[in-house]
Amino acid sequence: MVRNVSAVISEIEQAEKILVCGHIMPDGDCISSVLSLYRGLSSLGKKVTPAVDWKIPSIYMGFPHTDKLVCYSPDLELPDLMIIVDSSSPDRIGGFQRVLKTHVRTVLIDHHKTNTYFGNVNWVSPNYSSTAQMVFRLMQVMDVNFDEELALLNYLGIATDTGFFRYSNVNSTVFEDVACLVKYGADPAYVARVILENKKLEEFYLERDALDNLKVSCSGKFAYSFLEKRNFDRYGLSEDEFSGFVSQLRSISTVEVALFASESFKGEAHVSLRSKSYFDVSEVAKAFGGGGHERAAGFTLTYDNDLQEALEEVIEYISERLEER
Ligand code: 5GP
Ligand code: MN
Ligand code: MN
């Protein structure tokens, strides 16, 4: 067994009260990893609190136990151990960063290349498709019993972080592990339906607006677009409720790098970056204070005036590096 995995298990064994914490702007991998550990470690007799310091996007509410997820509160009863999943740096866990300043032991389980190793024990492995896959391996070693519900929760993260088994992070171990989860009762068609076929009509209107803002440059290699707060307001949707547009941009045949920015409120936008085969977008995200993977990364952009104006610097940064190749 990998040394870090033994260290993770030893921390878990020594703890009674465990807080399992995911990242802000949660995605499927985050919710899956938090809730799988919640279910799995509870079944071993631990007192587990699942936590994400953010509003949970409504599509995930179709999964069990999402109602148990707690946000940060100053009244939080400190656990013996905080397990942080799918989070590359302290800012990603929102208010739970405060727990890092206490005596509470911390374990990181993560697959981001840009991880800053901020836990007492850090099991960080970019070779894994998803944190959910690491959680699967961990719970197998710990002899956790996988029922249908746990299998479904665990499957969710592997499916979503691999773009439903399409991305370059897919290898044979992914299929081996999800084959086990499907045997245990996870329903791939249910997960695909809930995640992929659950769009609000207003999201299509937002996609139309995003298409209006689409620009392609660098001889077709770079596609980018954005949505401003007023676009979301027009259809009464919040930024969290929009599944994004960056993967559509990457699907253009000539495109290597795709960028999509969505304004949460005036002065702040989330920027999503994707690449297709060779450009390392995690380096760009890191340069602007974020992080991620080689083919999928992101960061928060803050600015005084206009989003489009603020994006120019990022666009120039990427274009220069793309033109070099
Ligand atoms: P997305 O574009 O889907 O929000 O994120 C793509 C990847 O980049 C995910 O793996 C996510 O964890 C990472 N990422 C997105 N935004 C941020 C950010 O603000 N900071 C860091 N460190 N990583 C981010
Ligand atoms: Mn994530
Ligand atoms: Mn992930």
Both 190 and 265 in one domain: the answer is no
Going from the Cα of 286 to the center of ligand 2, the distance in angstroms, rounded, reads: 16
> Where is the domain boundary, 196, 215, 233?
196
Task: Give the model confidence (pLDDT) of 111-133 as tens digits.
Answer: 999 999 999 999 999 999 999 99
Both 281 and 134 in one domain: the answer is no
Percent of the chain with pLDDT over 90: 96
pLDDT confidence band for 239 (50 / 70 / 90): confident
**Mutation probe of ligand 1 site: the residue of 84, 88, 162, 314 with most atoms within 8 A of C-beta:** 88
Residue 298 structure tokens: 């992101």
> Where is the domain boundary, 145, 164, 196?
196
Q: Identify the pLDDT of residue 103.
A: 97
Tracing tokens 């071993």 back to the chain, one arrives at 44
Q: How many domains does the chain have?
A: 2
Give the residue, by CA position, lying nearest to ligand 1 atom 19. 299
Residue 164 pLDDT more than 90?
Answer: yes
Both 266 and 222 in one domain: the answer is yes
Give the residue, by CA position, lying nearest to ligand 1 atom 11. 292
Which residues make Cβ contacts (< 8 Å) with residue 86, sequence separation at least 6?
22, 23, 27, 29, 30, 33, 109, 110, 111, 112, 130, 131, 157
> Where is the domain boundary, 174, 196, 218?
196
Task: Give the model confidence (pLDDT) of 15-40 as tens digits.
Answer: 999 999 999 999 999 999 999 999 99
Both 242 and 138 in one domain: the answer is no
- Which residue range forms the structural domain that includes residue 243? 201-323
Q: What is 127-178 written as a DSSP string?
A: TSS-HHHHHHHHHHHTT----HHHHHHHHHHHHHHTTTTTSTT--HHHHHHH
Residue 325 pLDDT more than 80?
Answer: no
Residue 62 structure tokens: 């179709």
Residue 1 pLDDT more than 70?
Answer: no
CA atoms within 13 A on the CB side of 181: 29
Ligand 1 close to Cβ of residue 92 (< 6 A): yes
Centre a 10 Å sphere on the Cβ of residue 112 and count the other Cβ atoms it contains: 23
Both 270 and 319 in one domain: the answer is yes
Both 34 and 159 in one domain: the answer is yes
Residue 167 pLDDT more than 70?
Answer: yes
Going from the Cα of 109 to the center of ligand 2, the distance in angstroms, rounded, reads: 12
Residue 185 DSSP one-character state: T
Both 83 and 14 in one domain: the answer is yes
Ligand 1 close to Cβ of residue 89 (< 6 A): yes
Ligand 1 close to Cβ of residue 292 (< 6 A): yes
Residue 198 pLDDT more than 80?
Answer: yes
Ligand 1: nearest atom to the Cα of 273: 2
